[in-house]
Structure 1
């Protein structure tokens, strides 16, 4: 039987989602948990597959993974979570047809990038974001693979930039993405938002046959894989206990990091405003 899981992970301490020799990965931790719960006994036969790979440091709320198992009753999120580390968890599962491919059958994927709002003109970023919507050649927004050249045409359905308190949230929806494409788009938006570049430059970047320029990707830690959609959608069974457990833990973590963030701000020295310690 083939089972699909929805999993989340906080990617800071992972070398990406895809399994790699001698590195800590999301798939590696998931395979350990599947073995320990005897959901699978043969990793090769299980044929673990995911809806997409994420780079080191990138996070996820709703990555979809599939595998074959002879013990589907144990493939329940709360059981697997008892063997998974804190920074990766399962929260929904479904039985799917043997031919279901979580990557190739996805019709759209949604990501969010979060960055500090203080540094950018959001109105300029929104104007630039409009240029990315639709079908374009994103050759200037990915690392070129000369040995295995692939089509760099992709269709962006939505690119929304909005301010929320101290941060800017950039939501992007597309059918598929190139390597580092989202993070390079974010870099372009920040260059426009900071006044270093303008919208005419973005237009040129989207015309790689006549203009080429390399661009560094935005840091991985700001990127979250939010959702992946299928048609038809698997009949997901939501594990409310697993969700509550994760929510409780990360609510406490968020509160802790708010305090840490405030403490770190105290380390920013301002000699011109030295305080009298007496």
Structure 2
């Protein structure tokens, strides 16, 4: 049987999702759990595939992985989560065809970037985001891989304010390396009046204009969802979702305390 999982993780402390030797990665932890439970023997023989890689420090709510196994009764979130660290959890599973490829079969991905928005003109960011929608050459918005086309179709960019934070949702057929984070950098440059929309339009014409951009910080980025044209009968694990909520609450408490601690580290005049 071929099983697909929806995986969420806090990317802080991991060197990205893709397995690497001698460093902690999301796939490395997941492989260890699947092997310990005897769900798979080896990622290659099990045809393990993911919907895509995320960089160091990037989080996910809806990463999708798939693998072949003869232990479908063990290939469920609550069992797999028992062998995973608190920063990674599965929360849904489905039986899928043997030819299901979570990366190639996807028709779009949705990323969300969260940042402090108090220093930006949000109306300018919203206006600029419309320029980036559609099919363009995003060569100026990525860390280049010479073997890949840099043309992508951005289906939508939604910008909304939530208190002191700004949330930017970007959906595209697929993304280039660092593409979302560099788009965020460009939008904030327009939103802070460093650049204008004419510059942004130039950036979409890499044959005549090239400029490097620093990607926005990784900690604000989350892979929210991977969408597929075919229906997948996901079975949601209520126990795993409840435990995930408890874990997230623990993270929130810790970070609220740390925020106060950081304030106390600066001596007052």
Q: Which category describes the TM-score, using the shorter chain as reference length?
A: over 0.9
Which position in structure 2 is the counterpart of 1:210? Answer: 208
SS state of the match for residue 30, structure 1?
helix
Q: 2:181 matched to which residue of 1? A: 183
Write out per-residue CA displacement over residues 184-220 of structure 1, whole angstroms, 9 at most, x where no aligned residue: 0000011111111111110110111111111111111
Root-mean-square deviation (CA), in Å? 1.2
Q: Tell me the alpha carbon deviations over residues 218-274 of structure 1, each in whole angstroms, 9 at most, x when there is no partner.
A: 11111000000112121101000000001012113213312321332333456xxx2
- CA deviation map 1:128-166 (0-9, x unaligned): 1111011111010112234x3x21111111101111012
Give the structure-2-normalised TM-score.
Answer: 0.97
In 2, the alpha carbon distance for the partners of 1:265 and 1:129 equals 34
Residue equivalent to 1:154: 152
8 Å Cα contact 2:122/2:191 also seen in 1: yes
Cα distance in 1 between the residues matched to 2:235 and 2:80: 15
Q: Equivalent residue of 1:11, what SS?
A: coil
SS in structure 2 opposite 1:188?
helix
TM-score, with structure 1 as normaliser: 0.94
Count of matched residue positions in the alignment of Structure 1 and Structure 2: 269
CA distance in 2, matches of 1:130, 1:269: 44
Partner of 1:98: 98
Q: CA deviation at 1:38?
A: 1.1
Whole-angstrom distance in 2 between the partners of 1:83 and 1:247: 18
Decide which structure has greater helix share.
Answer: 1
Partner of residue 166, structure 1: 164
Which blocks of at least 5 consecutive residues in structure 2 are unaligned?
A: none
Paired position in structure 2 for 1:12: 12
The aligned runs of 1:88-167 (5 Å cut-off) are 88-146=88-146, 148=147, 150-167=148-165
What do the CA deviations read for 1:82-136 (whole angstroms, capped 9, x no partner)?
A: 0001111100000100001100000111000011122211111111111101111
Classify the secondary structure of the residue corresponding to 2:92: strand
Q: Secondary structure at the residue paired with 2:35?
A: helix
Larger Rg: 1
* Residues 157, 35 of structure 1: alpha-carbon distance in 2 compared, 3 angstrom cutoff: same
Q: Could you list the structure 1 runs, at least 4 aligned residues long, displaced by more than 6 angstroms after superposition.
A: none
Partners of 2:100 and 2:41 in 1: how far apart?
21
Asked whether the equivalents of residues 144 and 177 of structure 2 are also in contact (C-alpha less than 8 Å), the reply is no
Distance 1:76 1:232 in 2: 21
For residues 199 and 140 of structure 1, the distance between their equivalents in structure 2, rounded to whole angstroms, comes to 15
Quote the Cα distance in structure 2 between the aligned partners of 1:23 and 1:47.
Answer: 22
Q: Does 1:234 align with 2:216?
A: no
Aligned to 2:84: 84
Deviation of residue 44 (structure 1)? Answer: 2.4
